[in-house]
Structure 1
Amino acid sequence: MIWGGITYEARTDLVIFERGGINAQRYVTEVLEPHVMPFAPFIGEDFLLMQDNARPHVARVVTAYLDTVGIRKLTWPSRSPDLKSY
């Protein structure tokens, strides 16, 4: 599994998970703390974290962590429409 963050003006380093799956605690310690937290001040007060509804992203421990450090999340609908054209 690979994780990365992008904005209009910058990007984070890629995080490559070589061992096993990812759970909420691993998401906090291996993605949010070392990559999102240092990146957020670069963007400024308008920083908004966009992530899908994967279980590690919506877990209580992740939500509590983001609330504690003051990172706002974009609300993602549980059943967002498929955007590909037919």
Structure 2
Amino acid sequence: MASRVSALLSKQPFSIYIHWPYCETKCTYCNFNKYVNPANPPHERMRSAICTELAHILRDPRYRLKGRTVNSVYFGGLRSC
């Protein structure tokens, strides 16, 4: 049974959520890490870290994402509520 579930999951599309934590205001519904109007947000460092983490997760066999389709990419943060 476990191998059957694993086989089904290996074919399921998945979604990616990318959170950009430098926001104009603090939203009451957001439980993610956030910094409201920082003086000099490290945008390039954050972009690089997100790309590195995403590449690792997509390649790491523990996540079982190889051969699966990305269904959607959602970007959160950045804006005011």
Q: Same fold (TM over 0.5)?
A: no
Query: Relative to total residues, which structure has the larger strand share, 1 or 2?
Result: 2
TM-score, normalised relative to structure 1:
0.27
TM-score, normalised relative to structure 2:
0.28
The structure with higher relative contact order (CA 8 Å, sep 6+) is 2
Which structure would you say has the larger Rg?
A: 2
